[in-house]
């Protein structure tokens, strides 16, 4: 299933010209799944260039048959969950059929082009929404560089937790406040210590972004039935970008049993699920470990994962401030990192997560943790970019940042590339900090 097939053929081009531009995230080799609002209804779709295949409209044209038709009918729901729970070969058949329908010279081109805006609306004309219903959200901590830097900022004698190299550390996140890319991220209220060490409640002063990649589960597992490392990857339907917005001042004060209100006010996801199949050309060996690192325990060690558990994926964060936008300055790239900076693979995260029998359900989200690398350019949050406030990040217009201010906008992007393959992207994960609302109590309750 992760072997290459004709859908990966770099020679394949689409009759939708925007899909052939070298800069598009969504060439015909990608075909990621998502959901959008049209005429007040949530529809599911597949991105191609600057357009979206409306799967219900396509279904109504009856151009598909066999597994592809079944998968398309299953996807005609308000979310992708039913499709994601299907056997992978059926999703693969739908992807293959879409590739054929959309390729240059397809016999279906005339039929599709005749009702272009009905079947293939412009992405700019619709509102994207969360691709699926997410039951549980788990956030991992798998970048050694991110973990070690934070340990050093705290002044720990051993900045890396003892368990870090034995298992992928994780905590449960808040699912209800996951939102699709775009719109405001409201600055939260919370308890924190002020400069005098007093505990106070008010708008949180230290907001940060965290650049992550997230896996979304396709087929789940039953409670008590662990998923083996060898089949773990097959349980991932696809991947998207995740901005794990963090209110550091809240987190520092509250954190006894892990992050809670410091994270749960909002987390942002890019709208498209790039499938495991689309990423096949970019698979590479799992990042190698340093000499002297402990051996991977057998339940997290699999030949397939070691051979191809990595992905050749670069990830970027751009920042623009209100002042920059006022001066029509472009957003500035502040992070350029690579998925190689993770110490654990997603298959290892899945195997570990279920090793105690915990059940993953279709739509569950697994965040990688902040993907920081060793290089300064690869620091993937402002806390690291400013060395915990000691060296404020300098922006081209003379502004500096140790934390996000109201009006600051972060855009995350990513790009998978490999020799001989058409590179693909993820779309963007965008969010802008909006000023805190007045707190209800001050107004006498709501």
Q: What is the DSSP string of 294-351?
A: PPPPGGG--HHHHHH-EE-EEEEEEEE-HHHHHTTPPPEEEEEEEGGGBSS-HHHHHH
Just list the catalytic residues: 146
Is 74 assigned to a binding site?
Answer: no
* Strand 184-186 relative to strand 429-434, pairing: parallel
Q: Within positions 211 to 230, which residues make up the interface with a second copy, using CB under 8 A?
A: 223-230
Is 139 assigned to a binding site?
Answer: yes
Is 143 assigned to a binding site?
Answer: no
Q: Within positions 98 to 137, which residues make up the interface with a second copy, using CB under 8 A?
A: 135-136
User: Could you tell me where the beta strands, DSSP code E, fall in 107-181?
Assistant: 127-129, 137-141, 169-172, 178-180
Smallest separation (angstroms) from a second copy to the CB of 163: 6
Is 314 assigned to a binding site?
Answer: no
Identify which range of 5-13, 27-35, 199-207, 318-326 contacts a second copy by CB under 8 A: 199-207
Q: Are 130 and 182 in contact (CB under 8 A)?
A: no
Nearest one of 324, 315, 292, 322 to 411, comparing CA atoms: 315
> Any contact of residue 179 with a second copy (CB under 8 A)?
yes
Is 267 assigned to a binding site?
Answer: yes
> Any contact of residue 73 with a second copy (CB under 8 A)?
no
Identify the helix (H) or strand (E) that includes residue 93: helix 88-102
Judged by beta carbon, residue 224 or residue 307, the one nearer a second copy is 224
> Any contact of residue 201 with a second copy (CB under 8 A)?
yes
Between the alpha carbon of residue 4 and those of residues 206, 288, 363, 410, the distances in Å are 45, 24, 25, 34
Judged by beta carbon, residue 316 or residue 343, the one nearer a second copy is 343
Is 194 assigned to a binding site?
Answer: no
Q: Within positions 242 to 261, which residues make up the interface with a second copy, using CB under 8 A?
A: 247, 250, 253-254, 256-261
Within 10 Å of residue 406's Cβ, how many Cβ atoms? 14
Looking at the DSSP assignment, which residues form a beta bridge with residue 178?
A: 267
Near a second copy by CB under 8 A: residue from 8, 12, 352, 432? 352
Nearest one of 1, 220, 226 to 96, comparing CA atoms: 1
The pair of structure tokens assigned to 277 is 């199949």
Q: Is 299 exposed, middle or buried (0-12, 13-18, 19+ CB in 10 A)?
A: middle
> Any contact of residue 78 with a second copy (CB under 8 A)?
no
Q: Within positions 282 to 321, which residues make up the interface with a second copy, using CB under 8 A?
A: 294, 297-299
Q: What is the DSSP string of 11-37?
A: T--BSSGGGGSTT-S--TTT--EEEEE
> Any contact of residue 189 with a second copy (CB under 8 A)?
yes
The pair of structure tokens assigned to 202 is 């008010």
Smallest separation (angstroms) from a second copy to the CB of 262: 8
> Any contact of residue 435 with a second copy (CB under 8 A)?
no
Judged by beta carbon, residue 43 or residue 353, the one nearer a second copy is 353
Near a second copy by CB under 8 A: residue from 44, 143, 264, 335? 264
Q: What number of chain residues touch a second copy (CB under 8 A)? A: 71
Judged by beta carbon, residue 34 or residue 173, the one nearer a second copy is 173
Identify which range of 75-83, 94-102, 103-111, 350-358 contacts a second copy by CB under 8 A: 350-358
Q: Map residue 104 onto helix, strand or coil.
A: coil
To which residue do tokens 């560089």 refer? 145
Judged by beta carbon, residue 41 or residue 176, the one nearer a second copy is 176
> Any contact of residue 153 with a second copy (CB under 8 A)?
no
- C-alpha 333/C-alpha 326 separation (Å) is 18
Is 176 assigned to a binding site?
Answer: no
Is 210 assigned to a binding site?
Answer: yes
Judged by beta carbon, residue 299 or residue 415, the one nearer a second copy is 299
In the annotated binding site, the residues are 139, 210, 212, 244, 251, 263, 267, 370
In the annotated binding site for substrate, the residues are 251, 370
In the annotated binding site for Ca(2+), the residues are 139, 210, 212, 244
């Amino acid at each position: 299933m992760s072997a290459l097939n004709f859908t990966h053929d770099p020679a394949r081009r689409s009759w939708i010209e925007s899909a052939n531009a070298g800069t598009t995230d969504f060439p015909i080799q990608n075909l990621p799944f998502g959901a959008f609002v049209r005429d007040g209804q949530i529809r599911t779709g597949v991105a191609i260039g600057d357009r979206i295949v409306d799967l219900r409209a396509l279904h109504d044209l009856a151009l598909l048959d066999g597994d592809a038709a079944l998968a398309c009918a299953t996807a005609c729901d308000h979310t992708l969950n039913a499709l994601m729970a299907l056997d992978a070969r059926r999703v693969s058949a739908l992807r293959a059929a879409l590739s054929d329908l959309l390729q240059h010279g397809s016999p279906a081109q005339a039929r599709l082009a005749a009702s272009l805006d009905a079947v293939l609306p412009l992405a700019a004309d619709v509102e994207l929404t969360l691709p699926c219903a997410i039951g549980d959200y788990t956030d991992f901590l798998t970048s050694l560089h991110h973990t070690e830097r934070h340990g050093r900022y705290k002044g720990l004698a051993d900045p890396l937790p003892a368990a870090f190299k034995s298992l992928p550390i994780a905590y449960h996140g808040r699912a209800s406040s996951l939102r699709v890319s775009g719109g405001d991220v409201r600055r939260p209220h919370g308890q924190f210590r002020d400069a005098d060490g007093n505990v106070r409640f008010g708008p949180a002063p230290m907001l940060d972004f965290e650049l992550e990649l997230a896996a979304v589960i396709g087929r789940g597992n039953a409670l008590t039935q662990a998923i083996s490392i060898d089949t773990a990857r097959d349980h991932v339907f696809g991947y998207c970008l995740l901005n794990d917005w963090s209110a550091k001042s809240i987190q520092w004060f509250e954190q006894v049993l892990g992050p809670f209100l410091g994270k749960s006010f909002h987390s942002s996801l890019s709208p498209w699920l790039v499938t495991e199949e689309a990423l096949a050309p970019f698979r590479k060996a799992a990042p190698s470990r340093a000499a002297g690192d402990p051996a991977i325990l057998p339940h997290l060690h699999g030949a397939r994962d070691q051979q191809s558990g990595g992905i050749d994926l670069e990830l970027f964060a751009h920042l623009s401030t209100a002042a920059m936008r006022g001066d029509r300055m472009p957003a500035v790239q502040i992070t350029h990192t690579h998925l190689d900076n993770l110490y654990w693979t997603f298959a290892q995260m899945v195997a570990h997560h279920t090793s105690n029998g915990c059940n993953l359900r279709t739509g569950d989200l697994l965040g990688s943790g902040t993907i920081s690398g060793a290089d300064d350019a690869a620091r993937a949050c402002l806390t690291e970019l400013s060395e915990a406030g000691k060296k404020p990040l300098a922006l081209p217009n003379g502004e500096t940042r140790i934390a996000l201010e109201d009006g600051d906008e972060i855009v995350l992007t990513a790009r998978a590339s490999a020799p001989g393959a058409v590179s693909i992207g993820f779309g963007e994960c965008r969010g802008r900090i909006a000023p805190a609302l007045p707190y209800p109590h001050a107004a006498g309750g709501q």
